């Protein structure tokens, strides 16, 4: 992720059960690329969520490396 996106860090988030906006219980982990001053925290009203096209671009970049990105050989 760091090599493909050029990010300087990562954050992990997990959202479970109805109050975490989960309708079907399962485990999943969000891996979020981080940059200085990226305004990720909920208190920061300047947070901008990427569009579907931006998210698709990032997903396509990760697919270039395949499962090795997640440490699976």
Q: How would you write the pLDDT of the chain (73 residues) with one tens digit per residue?
A: 888 888 999 999 888 888 877 888 888 788 889 999 887 776 666 667 778 898 888 888 878 766 654 554 4
The domain segmentation of the chain, as residue ranges, is: 2-38+48-67
Going by C-alpha positions, the residue among 13, 69, 2, 72 that lies closest to residue 40 is 13
> Quick one: 2-38+48-67 is in which CATH superfamily?
HIT-like (3.30.428.10)
Is the separation of the CB atoms in 70 and 49 below 8 Å?
no
Distance CA 54, CA 41 (A): 20
pTM more than 0.75: no
């Amino acid at each position: 992720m760091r090599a493909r996106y050029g990010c300087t860090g990562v954050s992990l988030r997990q959202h479970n059960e109805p109050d975490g906006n989960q309708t079907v219980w399962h485990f999943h982990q969000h891996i979020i690329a981080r940059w200085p001053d990226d305004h990720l925290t909920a208190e920061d009203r300047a947070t901008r969520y990427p569009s579907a096209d931006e998210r698709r671009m990032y997903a396509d970049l990760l697919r270039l490396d395949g499962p090795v990105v997640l440490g699976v050989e």
